[in-house]
Copies of this chain bind each other. A is one copy, B any other.
Amino acid sequence: MIQSAAFIGLGAMGYRMAAHLPKTFETVYVWNRNFEKAKQHAAEYGTLAVELNQAVQADVIFSCLPTSADVEALISSIEIKAGSIWIDCTSGVPDSAKKLSTLFEQQGAAFLDAPVSGQTIGAENATLTFMIGGNTTAFEQALPAIQAMGKLIQHVGDSGAGFAVKAVNNMLMAVNLCAASEGLTALKAHGVNLHAALDCINASSGKSNATETILPQRVLNRSFPLTFALPLLAKDTGIAVDLIREAKLSAPVIALTQSLVQAANGTAEPNSDFSTVAKMYESWSKITIE
């Protein structure tokens, strides 16, 4: 039975996610590279800011870092506790999950790839979606801990499957965003009212999260708030095309979109939100999507 939990990586997501663990566990360790953040979390939520060595002695350990390379580096510096379950919420690389899963298994422990969606608001309200790959028994054991933070929690397959679903999700978002930017540019060129057009599309078969949320809330109002950096979308779409390459599949729309996200990333200003992909189309057409 799970007695203690830990959360490693207190970024915008992790900080809010870890806040829910004390409701379920008496002992909750937190650790962050910038350790002040951990102390602040402890003061705010009654968690315990401890050394990394101690944190990884918890029964379940959550991590939420920028990339799989960060997770691998961190894990290579610690000793894996037998019986522990590591739940990695990073938007990571499936092959890395497989490698780490084997490593944990050899130590009598388990590694689950468990990326999330729902943004900071979902982290705050414990309504995140978890897409989880890895050992089913470990998944069931860890479920109560995960439920403290999530609403929809799905075991989607073996090790790596969670990361794969997250990469494909972000890829589809990128496709829908590119296509909607293209479509709205065309409508604007023909004198159509884009707000009215989006209302119609969002009541019709062409709707997507891009037309319902991204374009109205980030592009048409010209805000482009930095909540998900364009280089991270470039990374995630890259993971999706790697999945396709490995399986020797043909996915032309995805392959093209990855190229376009890469091109947008190559020409965007630093610290650009992913929604600035729309600006690449604007530079090509001299048309503002508003």
Instruction: Answer yes or no: A147 CB below 8 A from chain B CBs.
Output: no
Instruction: Answer yes or no: A160 CB below 8 A from chain B CBs.
Output: yes
> Of A157, A164, A205, A255, which is in contact with the most chain B CB atoms at under 10 Å from its CB?
A205
| CB-based contact A250/B238 at 8 Å | no
Whether A200 contacts B165 in the complex (CB less than 8 A), given A255-B255, A257-B179, A284-B267, comes out as yes
| CB-based contact B255/A258 at 8 Å | yes
| CB-based contact B170/A187 at 8 Å | no
Chain B residues with Cβ under 8 A from A249's Cβ?
182, 185-186, 189, 262, 284-285, 287
A82 to chain B, nearest CB (A): 27
> Of A94, A171, A203, A213, which is in contact with the most chain B CB atoms at under 10 Å from its CB?
A203
Chain B residues with Cβ under 8 A from A197's Cβ?
131, 154, 156, 165, 168
Chain A interface, DSSP helix/strand/loop, else mixed: helix
Contact among B161, B187, B246 with A164 in the assembled complex (CB-CB below 8 Å): B187
Instruction: Answer yes or no: A169 CB below 8 A from chain B CBs.
Output: yes
Q: Which residue of chain B is the closest to A156 with respect to CB atoms?
A: B196
Instruction: Answer yes or no: A73 CB below 8 A from chain B CBs.
Output: no
Which of chain A's residues 182-231 have a Cβ closer than 8 Å to chain B?
182-187, 189-193, 196-197, 199-201, 203-211, 213-214
A191 to chain B, nearest CB (A): 5
| CB-based contact A182/B253 at 8 Å | yes
Instruction: Answer yes or no: A260 CB below 8 A from chain B CBs.
Output: yes
| CB-based contact A243/B186 at 8 Å | yes
Q: Which residue of chain B is the closest to A129 with respect to CB atoms?
A: B203
Query: Number of residues in A with C-beta < 8 Å to the partner?
Result: 88
Q: Which residue of chain B is the closest to A204 with respect to CB atoms?
A: B117
Instruction: Answer yes or no: A1 CB below 8 A from chain B CBs.
Output: no
A30 to chain B, nearest CB (A): 26
Instruction: Answer yes or no: A65 CB below 8 A from chain B CBs.
Output: no
Once the chains are docked, how many angstroms separate the CA of A65 from the CA of B254?
33
Once the chains are docked, how many angstroms separate the CA of A155 from the CA of B193?
8
Binding site for B on A (CB under 8 A): 94, 117-118, 129, 131, 133, 151-152, 154-158, 160-161, 164-165, 168-173, 175-176, 178-180, 182-187, 189-193, 196-197, 199-201, 203-211, 213-214, 234, 238, 240-260, 262-263, 266-267, 281, 283-287
Query: 25 interchain pairs (CB within 8 A)?
Result: A154-B200, A156-B193, A156-B197, A157-B192, A165-B200, A168-B184, A169-B200, A169-B204, A171-B179, A171-B183, A172-B201, A182-B254, A185-B251, A186-B243, A186-B254, A190-B243, A206-B209, A242-B245, A247-B285, A249-B262, A250-B284, A253-B256, A256-B256, A262-B284, A263-B284
